Amino acid sequence: MTASQQSATPCSAASCKDIRTKLIDAALDVLLQDGILGFSQSKVAKQAGLRQSHLTYYFPTRNDLLTVVVEHGCLLVINAQGCHDTAPLPTLEEFRQAMCNNICDSRIARLMVAVTVAAEVDPKLKDWISAFDRRMLNNKKEAFKRLGVHASDDEMALFHSTIAGIAIRNLNSSGPQDSEEARQRFLYAFDRLIKASHPAAISE
């Protein structure tokens, strides 16, 4: 245990969870507002209204915090699509529109750009990014399967890569026209996947 960990005040399981959640939420705010260049442990601790020793107790390094925040942020966006095990099953069109909205709101792209930039300094993050990307791909496969859409691995991988590119391009958009183009490209990619997959059963 580090000195900073030793100096942090011990807490109950419930209060520790609350502090950890508060730190993750604050870190997500900082990362989305200031990007990776403005992302620091001291800034996150200040945003959370906690001592930095609390932060380093839970997240000893900036990258420990960064990977948890990226996972957390992406999960919030994915859950907003409404196609996960604990949610009522949406229609395919509802899922299409929810995914389109989330791809075009730039949060996932901003988070992934941040961790990609950080990986240039710490190459160990590249393994995490690769594993995370595979989990995101599998998440899409399972979501579509719940809706009766059984795309091939190649088609799903192409869709996954295509919408990642759309999200990154939209992150650098300069106006409403660019955002509308991003939406149209996403919808085209989505519809192409459906057409290629010959879904066995689609909830309408």
Number of domains in the chain: 2
pLDDT in tens, 14-45: 577 789 999 999 999 999 899 888 999 999 99
Mean pLDDT of the chain: 85
Do both 41 and 105 map to the same domain?
no
- What does the pLDDT read at residue 83? 62
pLDDT in tens, 95-123: 999 899 888 888 888 888 999 999 998 88
Indicate the range of 95-99, 136-140, 196-200 predicted with least confidence: 196-200
Dihedral angle at the C-alpha atoms of 137, 146, 87, 182, nearest 10 degrees?
50
Separation between Cα atoms, residue 197 and residue 204, nearest integer Å? 16
Q: Which residue has the higher pLDDT, 137 or 2?
A: 137
> Does 5 have pLDDT greater than 50?
no
Instruction: Identify the sign of the CA torsion 75, 135, 110, 165.
Output: negative
Residue 19 token pair: 């502090």
- What does the pLDDT read at residue 26? 95
Do both 122 and 33 map to the same domain?
no
Q: Which residue has the higher pLDDT, 84 or 143?
A: 143
- What does the pLDDT read at residue 1? 43
Rounded alpha-carbon distances, angstroms, from residue 200 to 44, 69, 90, 146, 160: 47, 37, 16, 11, 21
Separation between Cα atoms, residue 169 and residue 179, nearest integer Å? 9
Do both 130 and 180 map to the same domain?
yes
Question: What mean pLDDT do residues 187-199 have?
Answer: 89
- What does the pLDDT read at residue 87? 67
Do both 78 and 52 map to the same domain?
no
- Classify residue 5: in a domain, yes or no: no
154: CATH: 1.10.357
Which structural domain, as residue segments, surrounds residue 186?
Answer: 69-196
- What does the pLDDT read at residue 190? 96
Do both 82 and 183 map to the same domain?
yes
Residue position matching structure tokens 């520790």: 16
45: CATH: 1.10.10.60
CB atoms closer than 10 angstroms to residue 131:
10
Do both 42 and 77 map to the same domain?
no
Task: For residue 2, name the pLDDT band (cuts at 50, 70, 90).
Answer: very low
Phi, psi of 50, deg, nearest 5 = -125, 165
- Classify residue 138: in a domain, yes or no: yes
pLDDT in tens, 147-175: 999 999 999 999 999 999 999 988 887 68
- Classify residue 4: in a domain, yes or no: no
Do both 35 and 133 map to the same domain?
no
pLDDT in tens, 79-100: 766 666 666 788 999 999 989 9
